Structure 1
Amino acid sequence: MGNHMFLQHYNTFIQAINLPVAKLCFHEHIDPDDIRNTYRTFTQPHPRFPFIRAKTIGAALIDLARFNDRNAYLEHIKAKNHGGYHAKRARKRGYVFSEIERNNHIDEIHEINISLDHRQGRPMDAKYMEKRDAFERRPHFRYYGVFDPKGKLVAYANLGIYGNFAAYSQMLGIRNNDGIMHLLLAESICRLIDEKQVRYVMYDTFFGAQPGLRTFKTILGFQPYRARYSLQ
């Protein structure tokens, strides 16, 4: 291993041990099969670092307990070029956030999925290129979308409730500079704060994400944590 690579791994290790710890608990009774499968996915060995678990080091989380209400969260991300600022721009341009039934938007979802052949420097997974005939609706999931001023779906997110935390499983949008993805996340996070059902919300991890995606997570209030998972 070269000196540069060694220093990179060493710095990552030092960062990791200094991260705050979040205890994320899966509640099996919510949906036994899906919860068990997701728990296994989150705790399997990391593909590049087999000595750590997949989504433990640098988990991108927001501790929702920090915010008394949605206004406190929006205040936290309101600075210029932060998530709240861009979400506000999207609202002013006529975009609307709403819960959606995905089966009413099959064509629009497919159009979003195939709108780019690369995202975050990687080719789109082949499963996104195939048009679905129907979507299954899981009771512990929330399905959200953003509509343009003409009423067309231009972004969507699937958010799973797993126990004391929620996690985004899918999130895609048409690429533009109108702040639609900021609106999508900010509003769905506000809903979680309103409901007070979960302590944390997760958006994958920081380590391994492209710089642009890491910035996107940061300006919406996500921070890197060491996640400790349990299954109950």
Structure 2
Amino acid sequence: MFLQHYNTFLEVIKLPRAQLTFSQQIDPDDIRATYRIYTKPHPRYKIIRHKTIGAALIDLSAFPDRAAYLEHVKGKNQGAYHARRARNRGYVVRDIDRNDYVDDIHDIHTSLDVRQGRRMDQKYLERQDRFDNRKHFRYWGVCSPQGKLVAYATLGIYGNFASFSQMMGIRNNDGIMHLLLSEAVCHLIDEGRVRYVMYDTFFGAQPGLRNFKTILGFRPYRASYTLQ
């Protein structure tokens, strides 16, 4: 047990550091509330903050353009490979208003009883007829060749970083989630507004989700947060 904790400690101290800044001028109430969530004590390890150790980040400053990012995640069974498979099968990513896809989103939420080893939260199983849209959020969806929404993501812009708050889709083998996430990252690179993009954390994630993040360019960081 001691050796396991020691090895974990060595792994943690080797992680690269990232300074993430929350900017209150974007949306004062939501930014302050989100900052409190990100910096509250970890639910299991009270001496560290919630989203600090092993934060799953991509440093977008490493990529001068979207082509450089896609080059970084290319190769057999890498993110760009699966995204290309989805694109070749007729799937497209577009900005969406979730209120235009209420039925499709409900279908996505109820398509699986268990995700990442956990039963779906009851709030997702209940049909939501109206979604509120925030100005500092991006809403993207993947549509099938028939026009049906099969996956969607919501992402908040918080300061020098953006963070996914939701990413969900039906389960198939067409690469739709790889297409969705890679295209979202490309949009952020095109905009040039943030340095980092976050997708929760590595530690505690199921192996399949950790692999998904890795092949799309995410790496674990030690994150620290400031509120400006």
- Three-state SS of the structure 2 residue aligned to 1:186 is helix
Matches within 5 A, 1:31-180: 31-180=27-176
Return the alpha-carbon distance in structure 1 between the equivalents of residues 71 and 209 of structure 2.
22
Give yes or no for the alignment of 1:197 onto 2:193: yes
Instruction: Give the Å deviation of 1:8.
Output: 2.9
Listed one character per residue, the Cα deviations across residues 100-148 of structure 1 (whole Å, up to 9, x for unaligned) are: 0000000100100010010001111111111112000000000000001
Return the alpha-carbon distance in structure 2 between the equivalents of residues 228 and 87 of structure 1.
31
Structure 1: which 5+ residue stretches go unaligned? none
Listed one character per residue, the Cα deviations across residues 141-176 of structure 1 (whole Å, up to 9, x for unaligned) are: 000000011110000000100000000000100000
Instruction: Give the Å deviation of 1:178.
Output: 0.2
Partner of 1:184: 180
Q: Which amino acid aligns with 1:84?
A: A
- Three-state SS of the structure 1 residue aligned to 2:171 is coil
Return the alpha-carbon distance in structure 2 between the equivalents of residues 50 and 8 of structure 1.
19
Q: Which amino acid aligns with 2:199?
A: Y
Q: Which amino acid aligns with 2:170?
A: I
Partner of 2:12: 16
Instruction: Give the Å deviation of 1:46.
Output: 0.4
- Normalising by structure 2, what TM-score? 0.99
Q: Report the more deviating stretch, 121-130 or 180-189.
A: 121-130
Over the matched positions of the two proteins, sequence identity in percent amounts to 70
- Three-state SS of the structure 1 residue aligned to 2:49 is coil
Return the alpha-carbon distance in structure 1 between the equivalents of residues 3 and 108 of structure 2.
40
Instruction: Give the Å deviation of 1:9.
Output: 2.6
Listed one character per residue, the Cα deviations across residues 45-72 of structure 1 (whole Å, up to 9, x for unaligned) are: 0011111001000000000000000000
Q: Report the more deviating stretch, 62-71 or 123-132.
A: 123-132
Listed one character per residue, the Cα deviations across residues 63-83 of structure 1 (whole Å, up to 9, x for unaligned) are: 000000000000001111000
Return the alpha-carbon distance in structure 2 between the equivalents of residues 111 and 8 of structure 1.
42
- Three-state SS of the structure 2 residue aligned to 1:138 is coil
Instruction: Give the Å deviation of 1:39.
Output: 0.4
Return the alpha-carbon distance in structure 1 between the equivalents of residues 180 and 93 of structure 2.
6
Instruction: Give the Å deviation of 1:13.
Output: 1.8
Partner of 1:207: 203
- Normalising by structure 1, what TM-score? 0.97
Alpha-carbon RMSD: 0.7
Return the alpha-carbon distance in structure 1 between the equivalents of residues 63 and 164 of structure 2.
20
